[in-house]
Structure 1
């Protein structure tokens, strides 16, 4: 069996989780701003700014969640979960796990640790199993 071409492989991205994050982020941002504008007169400017600021903070977090991805290339897999992201060289990946009950794929690494790949989420149903297999094929294990 030959390993698929890592250079041209498509990125891994969640579908349902991304959609939910976008909808929730927009709804909370709009709701918080509308609330800040329509608060009764006894509320000061700081109360209004705090309300709007909470909406902005939640929207920023949801935006971060909506941009989760894993990008394969010749050097390895660039995994970007909620943090800054990291490059995992192909040779450091010893296993791809996605057993029943796991919310997302986990990579077993050569140093004995594991890494979540939130870009492949169980919430995406049968598509998630296909994506986990595609990743395992790319890893070549």
Structure 2
């Protein structure tokens, strides 16, 4: 594999900046809400617990939103989205798509379906997402049976 677009395996693609922002924001919100709950003297124990529960809920949701990734290895690709994980063999991936305006990469699969891969999303790091999509496309073309895709 002399193609410079084809990265060495295993490789993990994830929206790192988005992940950092979400986890930092979640942690700060958790600390602030819990501190407010402790500083407000008129709160009953049940009200304090509701503050802590709300803070944990916010942190949990933001942690869930930071979960997506795409892991490529010799055998295939693992797509980790918000609540589901799917393992694909290279031969199952026919095309890797990131069109202008797409929120994330879509994988066209051999069974006729399309799988969103939220681990590559142009959100706040558009150039990185384009590089990652090209690298995944190059891997799929080199290892799978899919045609070249643009």
Do these two structures clear the TM 0.5 threshold for a shared fold by scoring above it? Answer: yes
Matched with 2:85 is: 85
Stretches (4+) displaced over 3 A: 1-6
Matched with 2:144 is: none
Measure the CA separation in 2 of the matches of 1:109 and 1:13.
21
How many angstroms does 1:76 deviate by?
Answer: 1.3
TM-score (norm 1): 0.88
In structure 1, list runs of 5 or more residues that go unmatched.
Answer: none
Measure the CA separation in 2 of the matches of 1:84 and 1:94.
21
Matched with 1:101 is: 101
- Counterpart of 1:122 in 2: which secondary structure? coil
Measure the CA separation in 2 of the matches of 1:93 and 1:83.
21
Measure the CA separation in 2 of the matches of 1:25 and 1:77.
29
- How many residues of Structure 1 are paired with residues of Structure 2 in the alignment? 139
Q: Deviations over 1:69-102 (max 9, x none)?
A: 1111122111111114110121111111100001
Matched with 2:118 is: 118
